[in-house]
Amino acid sequence: MSPLFPALRTADRKEALRFGERSLTYAGLAGAAGALAARIAGAGRVAVWATPSLETAVGVVAALLAGVPAVPLNPKTGERELAHILTDSAPTAVLAAPGDVLPPALEALTRIDVVPEAGAGALPVEPHDAEPHDAESPALIVYTSGTTGPPKGAVLPRRAVSGTLDALAEVWAWTPDDVLVHGLPLFHVHGLILGILGPLRRGGSVRHLGRFSVEGVARELSTGATMLFGVPTMYHRIAEVLDTDRELAKALAGARLLVSGSAALPVHDHRRIAAATGRAVIERYGMTETLMNTSVRVDGEPRPGTVGVPLPGVELRLADESDGIGEIQVRGPNLFSGYLNRPDATAAAFTEDGWFRTGDMASLDADGYVRIVGRKATDLIKSGGYKIGAGEIENALLDHPGVREAAVTGEPDADLGERIVAWVVPADPQAPPTAEELAAHVAAQLSPHKRPRTVRFLETLPRNDMGKIMKRALGNG
C-alpha cells in the first residue's frame, strides 16, 4: 500500500500542524515522527496519551509510520474504564508529552516522551520506509461504547483510514490548500482521523484550538482557515451568538466548507446559521466502526435533516424496512476489521451476507439522500457528540455505596442533543447521596462526559412482570 502521508516525503517548509503558539512544518513533522517511529518500531501496540496537543499528533503519525497500532487514550478516562482499556489492548508503551502527569495505571508501561522537534530523540529515518505495505494491518484501535458492558476496541486498518479520507477529499474537493480549524478531542475518529490525519494526508494544514471556543473559530476563519469541523453542540453554540457577533458571521461566511457530524444537527440550528451567514453547514454521517458512510457533496444540494448520499466506494441499504424506515447497513473499504478480543461482538455486528449493522434507523429521499430518524437501541445516548452506553453508567452507579438501584436514560437537550439522566433508588432514603457526588463518581470511574447531568431519586424503579426495568415509564426516557 502507498504511504499514508505522501507530503512527508517532500518534507517542505509548509505548516502541517498548529496548536496555539506551537506549530510544525512538514519537514519538522517528517523529522520528529520519523525519529520516534524508529524508536517504537516493533513495539507491539502503543497507547497515546491523547491530549489536544502537537505531541498527540506527532505520536500517532509516528505509530502509523512505524506500523505499530496506536490506542488513543482520553486523558480524562476514569480508573475503571482505563483499567479495562489497558487490559484489553495490552500496549507495551505509552507516548506522552514530557510534562504530562500519567495515572498509576500507566506506570507499568514504558513511557516514551514525544518531542515535536525535527530529529529529536533518535536517528532520523526516511519516514515512509518503515510503513507497512499490508493495507489490512491495524492502524488504530479506538474504544467505543455499546449498550451494555465496557467499551469495545474497534480495530481500524490502514485501508479504512486512507479509504475514508480519500472519499471525503473527492466529495468535499479537499485539497492541500485547505486549512482546517477545529477543537475536537483527539481520542475519537472525528477529531483524530478526520481532523488531524485528514489534513496531513492531503498535504494541507490543521489548526487545533486546544479546546473549542466560538472566539477561536472566528479568529482562525478570519485569518486563513478555510474549513471547520465540529459536532452539533459546537454549531449550536455558534448559532446562539451569531445574531450579535458580526465578526463570527463574517468569518463563517468566508469559509469554504463548514462540516458537522457525530450526531444530528437540528434543522433549527442549520437555518439560523444559513440565515446569518448565507452558508449551509454540510452534514456527514459516520461511526467509529465504519468511519464515514455518507455526506452532502460540496457541489450537491445541502438538505437540512439529511446526511447526504453514500460516499464513493460505500454501499448502503436499509434493512427490514417498514413504512419506508429501516436499519442502515453498510459495506465498503471504510469498515473496521473487528472488535479487539471480541469475535462474538464482531460476528453479531455483521449480517450473514456481510453487511455491517449500524443500528441507525433511516429513510431514503427519492434521490438517495439519507435521512436518519433514530436508533434501534434506546440504551445508547449521544451527548455532545459522544456515544455513551446506559449500561456502563448504571454499573458505575451501582458501585456507589449510596445507590441501591439505578437506571440511565437520555433526554432531549438543546445544547448537548441528549442529556444523561440517572434515576436512582438510594440505599438509605433518609440520607441519599447528592447529585454532584454521583456525577463525580461516574466521572472518576468512567469519564467526565459520561457523568449524569440530572439525577432523579425514586422509591422504586418501574419493572415489568419479568423484573426488567421499564425505561419508557421513566419521564421522557
- Positions touching ligand MCA (CB under 6 A) are 76, 184-185, 188-191, 211-212, 231, 233-234, 261-262, 286-288, 384-386, 439-440, 443, 448-449, 451
Q: Which is nearer to ligand AMP, 188 or 207 (CB)?
A: 188
- For ligand AMP, the binding residue among 387, 400, 450, 471 (CB under 6 A) is 387
| Residue whose C-alpha cell is 469519564 | 447
Shortest approach of ligand MCA to residue 448 CB, angstroms?
3
Taking 3-state DSSP, the helix, strand and coil percentages for the chain, each rounded to the nearest 5, stand at 30, 30, 40
Binding mask 187-206 for ligand AMP (x = CB under 6 A): --x-----------------
- For ligand AMP, the binding residue among 55, 283, 392, 394 (CB under 6 A) is 283
* C-alpha–C-alpha distance, residues 181 and 212, integer Å: 10
Q: Which is nearer to ligand AMP, 26 or 369 (CB)?
A: 369
* Residue whose C-alpha is closest to residue 236's, from 389, 414, 366: 414
Among positions 344-363, residues that touch ligand AMP (CB under 6 A) are 358, 360
Q: Is 262 in the site for ligand AMP (CB under 6 A)?
A: yes
* C-alpha–C-alpha distance, residues 142 and 302, integer Å: 30
- For ligand AMP, the binding residue among 32, 54, 171, 264 (CB under 6 A) is 264
449 binds, among ligand MCA, ligand AMP, none (CB under 5 to 8 A by kind): ligand MCA
DSSP letter string, 92-123: SEEEE-TTPPPPGGGTTSEEEE---STT-SS-
Distances (CA, A) of 212 to 80, 218, 220, 245, 354: 27, 11, 12, 17, 39
Which contacts (CB < 8 Å, 24+ apart) does range 266-272 have? Answer: 266/232, 266/236, 267/304, 267/305, 268/239, 269/232, 269/235, 269/236, 269/239, 270/304, 270/305, 271/304, 272/239, 272/242
293 binds, among ligand MCA, ligand AMP, none (CB under 5 to 8 A by kind): none
- For ligand AMP, the binding residue among 74, 162, 288, 346 (CB under 6 A) is 288
**Neighbouring C-alpha atoms within 13 Å toward the C-beta of 172:** 33
* C-alpha–C-alpha distance, residues 407 and 405, integer Å: 7
With H, G, I as helix, E, B as strand and everything else as coil, classify residue 276.
Answer: helix
Q: Is 140 in the site for ligand AMP (CB under 6 A)?
A: no
Q: Which is nearer to ligand MCA, 67 or 151 (CB)?
A: 151
Asked if residues 182 and 231 have their Cβ atoms less than 8 Å apart, the reply is no
Distances (CA, A) of 66 to 33, 44, 59, 340: 9, 10, 11, 20
Contacts of 199 by beta carbon, 8 Å cutoff, 6+ apart: 16, 178, 179, 180, 205, 206
Q: Which is nearer to ligand MCA, 131 or 289 (CB)?
A: 289
Q: Which is nearer to ligand MCA, 127 or 294 (CB)?
A: 294
User: Angle, to 10 degrees, between the axis of helix 214-221 and the axis of helix 246-253?
Assistant: 50
Q: Which is nearer to ligand AMP, 132 or 305 (CB)?
A: 305
Shortest approach of ligand AMP to residue 292 CB, angstroms?
9
Shortest approach of ligand MCA to residue 66 CB, angstroms?
24
Shortest approach of ligand MCA to residue 142 CB, angstroms?
8
Q: Is 309 in the site for ligand AMP (CB under 6 A)?
A: no
144 binds, among ligand MCA, ligand AMP, none (CB under 5 to 8 A by kind): ligand AMP
76 binds, among ligand AMP, ligand MCA, none (CB under 5 to 8 A by kind): ligand MCA
Q: Which is nearer to ligand AMP, 18 or 152 (CB)?
A: 152
Of 1-9, 111-119, 209-217, 285-293, the window that binds ligand AMP (rule: CB under 6 A) is: 285-293
Of 8-16, 238-246, 255-263, 311-319, the window that binds ligand AMP (rule: CB under 6 A) is: 255-263
Strands (E), 41-103: 46-49, 70-73, 93-96
Shortest approach of ligand MCA to residue 270 CB, angstroms?
17
Phi/psi zone of residue 424: left (φ > 0), alpha (ψ -120 to 50 degrees), beta?
beta
Shortest approach of ligand AMP to residue 263 CB, angstroms?
5
Contacts of 104 by beta carbon, 8 Å cutoff, 6+ apart: none
Asked if residues 19 and 210 have their Cβ atoms less than 8 Å apart, the reply is yes
The CA R_g of the chain, rounded to the nearest whole Å, is: 22
Q: Provide φ and ψ at 347, rounded to 5°.
A: -60, -40
Q: Is 276 in the site for ligand AMP (CB under 6 A)?
A: no
Shortest approach of ligand AMP to residue 328 CB, angstroms?
8
Residue ranges in contact with ligand AMP by CB under 6 A: 144, 189, 261-264, 283, 285-288, 307, 358, 360, 372, 375, 382, 387
